[in-house]
Amino acid sequence: MPKPASLRLLVNDRPVNVASGTTVASAILLAGIPTRRSVTGQPRGPLCGMGICFECQATINGTMHQRTCQVFCTEGMEVRTP
């Protein structure tokens, strides 16, 4: 079985290496940070893993409110969290 290709993306300007087929939500968790802050400022991470809870929302390549659990990482992607 061939080793999964690795790719590099930036999470808040810090490089993160992941296997191809990794979701952006998983990459953010790998970086050890919350995906978002709630309306009262609490740290949050993914809950449902399937695109219905919206806790995994982050900014991808400048577009806000992306459901990162449903987006695969691509080479050079820029992810921002609050």
Partner 1 sequence: MSESWDVVIVGAGIVGAACALECAKRGMRTAVVEANFIGGGATAAGMGHIVVMDDSPAQLALTHYSQTLWQELSKALPEDVEYEACGTLWVAADEEEMQEVQRKRDVYASAGVATEILDGPGLADAEPQLRTPLAGALLVRSDAVLYPPCAAGFLMREAQRLGVQLYRRKVHSAHSGQIRLDDATQLNSKQIIIASGADACELVPGLPIKKRKGHLVITDRYPQFIRHQLVELGYLKSAHSSTTDSVAFNVQPRKTGQLLIGSSRQYGAEDAEVNPQILSAMTERAQWYLPKIGELSAIRVWTGFRAATPDKLPLIGPWPEDDSLFLATGHEGLGITTSLGTAQLLVDYFEGAATAISCEPYLPGRFARSVIRA
Partner 2 sequence: MTERFDILVVGAGPAGIAAAVTAVASRKKVGLVDDNPVAGGQIWRAGAAQPVAALAWFERLAASSVARLQGWRVFDSPSQGVLRAEGNDGCRDLVYNQLVMATGARERFLPFPGWTLPNVMGAGGLDAMVRGGLPIAGKRVVVAGTGPLLLAVAAHLAKKGAKIVAICEQAPLHRFVPFCASLLGEPAKTKQGIEYALSTFGSKIHTGCWPVAANGDEMLQSVTLRRREKQWEVPCDYLACGFHLVPNLELPALMKCRIDNGFVAVDDLRQTSIAGIFCAGEPTGIGGVEMALLEGEIAGLAAAGKVVEAKRMARRRKRGLGFVRALSTVTELDPRLKQLATDKTLVCRCEDVSYGRLREHACWREAKLHTRCGMGPCQGRVCGPATEFLFGWKMDSTWSTIRPPLYPVLVSSLGDPDKLEFKSDSLALAGAQDQKEIQ
* Contact positions vs partner 2 (CB under 8 A): 18-19, 21-23, 25-27, 29-30, 34-35, 38-40, 42-55, 57, 65, 69-73
Give the nearer residue to partner 1 in terms of CB position, either 54 or 72: 54
Q: Binding-site residue total for partner 1 (CB under 8 A)?
A: 4
Q: In whole angstroms, how close is the CB of 65 to partner 1 at the nearest point?
A: 5
Decide which of partner 2, partner 1, none touches 16; Cβ closer than 5 to 8 Å per partner kind: none
Binding segment (CB under 8 A) for partner 1, from list 9-17, 19-27, 63-71, 73-81: 63-71
CB 4 within 8 A of CB 73: no
Tokens of 19: 């296997």
Binding partner of 5, given partner 2, partner 1, none, CB within 5-8 angstroms per partner class: none
Q: Strands (DSSP E) along the chain, which ranges?
A: 6-11, 14-19, 36-37, 43-44, 57-60, 63-67, 78-80
Q: Is 3 in contact with 70 (CB distance < 8 Å)?
A: no
C-alpha 15/C-alpha 18 separation (Å) is: 10
